Structure 1
Amino acid sequence: MSRKEQKEERRKAILMAALQLFVERGYHETKIADIAKAVSMSVGLMFHYFESKEALLIELVKMGAEGTKSAKIPENVPMDMFLGGFLRELFDYAEKEPWVFNMFILMRQARRAGMPEEARKIAFSVDGIGADTAEGIALGQKAGIFREGDPEALARIFWASVQGVMEEMAVNRELEAPEPEWLMGILRK
């Protein structure tokens, strides 16, 4: 492994340790020394990778924001098919990469008052695919697939349910992911 690859591996390890600790203890209660200890590194060396705990948080929130961009709704795909497939892929991926569950928690935490303002701004800039979902729900309502009601409210309820599932699975790793259809039942007629 090259030096550059080693450095990138260490950087990832620091990010994953910080993510775990921020979720378990909270951002404010986690010390840089805790993160350094979790990756068997001195605090001084940690500062070669990230200048501060806030810089670590911001990097993690940016990762979370980027993750939502991968969920773009393709044109000409019915919303019920897209959402069902998306949920299945999300749950499968999170099972293989459990840090994804923690990312859902961190992104929620980053929106809270008292968190560093830059991290809050990034977290609030993420609408996920909420607006697109609302448009797709409206189309699905016209096609008779989805229940009547305010499409934006239905989209928010749907994504809040997904958020809740991911948070529950983060704290209870014994849980199996629900069938996507259970969550799709929120939207279907």
Structure 2
Amino acid sequence: MPRTPQQYQQLKEERRSALLKAAREVFARRGLAATKMTDLAAAAGISYGLVYHYFPDKESVFATLVEEAIQDGIRLLTAERQGPGTPWEQLQRFCAQILEHVREETSIPLILVQARASESIPAPVQRALERYTTQFFQQLVELIEAGQSAGQIVKIPAAELARLLLSTVQGLALTQVLPRPDDAPFPATDTVLRLFRP
């Protein structure tokens, strides 16, 4: 029996999602410059030609991953800022979720680091990265400023604290893929935020 249009659309979305999931791992390990479309197809378990039904080139796949990652961060931060509790409690929840994500899924922070550091990133990806990063960073600064106004966060320029937090998260993502002592525990949220306390 032939597929219905809804079944066909669902299958298409599932394949696209599987391709993006596989691409995260490939790009995190190999980077944009060293990755080929054949690598993405092989990792996703689909034919080389089928990849082109979803994306015209590897740069488009990479751009999609970068954009989705930052938009997910913005959604998470926005949800926390609109949630219950004090600014400090919102920051704690946000930080806990980000750290859990880094512990479970290291590829996204690694891709974001590559996108910022690599000279081979296409201009549209750089522009999208700058646009979304600015939006995300500004929301984080505003949350920190709210905590400072409430006397819950140390009075250091909020942009410095925001950069410190993001750098810590990126550094922890790197330590997840680099050799480390077996007895080195992953830092707790309170440990990461200790410098934020007045």
Residues 60-79 of structure 1 aligned to structure 2 (within 5 Å) = 60-70=65-75, 71-72=77-78, 73-74=81-82, 77-79=85-87
CA distance in 1, matches of 2:87, 2:153: 10
Q: Distance in 2 between matches of 1:128 and 1:149?
A: 21
1:86 aligns with 2:91: no
Alpha-carbon deviation of 1:74? 2.2
Q: What letter matches 2:89 in structure 1?
A: M
Q: Distance in 1 between matches of 2:174 and 2:107?
A: 7
Where does the alignment leave 5 or more consecutive residues of structure 1 unmatched?
Answer: none
Structure 1 counterpart of 2:32:
27
Partner of 1:44: 49
- 1:79 and 1:170 map into 2 onto residues whose CA distance is 32
| 1:118 corresponds to 2:124 | yes
Note the C-alpha offset of 1:80. 1.4
Do the aligned residues in 2 keep the contact of 1:158 with 1:187 (CA within 8 Å)?
A: no
What corresponds to 2:22 in structure 1?
Answer: 17
Q: Equivalent residue for 2:192?
A: 183
The structure where helix makes up a greater share of residues is 2
Contact 2:152/2:197, CA 8 A, preserved across alignment = yes
| Residue 164 of structure 1 pairs with residue 171 of structure 2 | yes
Give SS of 1:27's match: helix
Task: Tell me by how many angstroms 1:155 deviates.
Answer: 1.7
Which string of whole-angstrom CA distances, capped at 9 and with x for unpartnered residues, describes residues 118-175 of structure 1? 1111111223643233333334334432223222112211221122223333557987
Q: Percent identity at matched positions?
A: 26
Alignment partner of 1:182: what SS? helix
Aligned residues: 186
Does the CA contact (< 8 Å) of 1:33 and 1:43 recur in 2?
A: yes
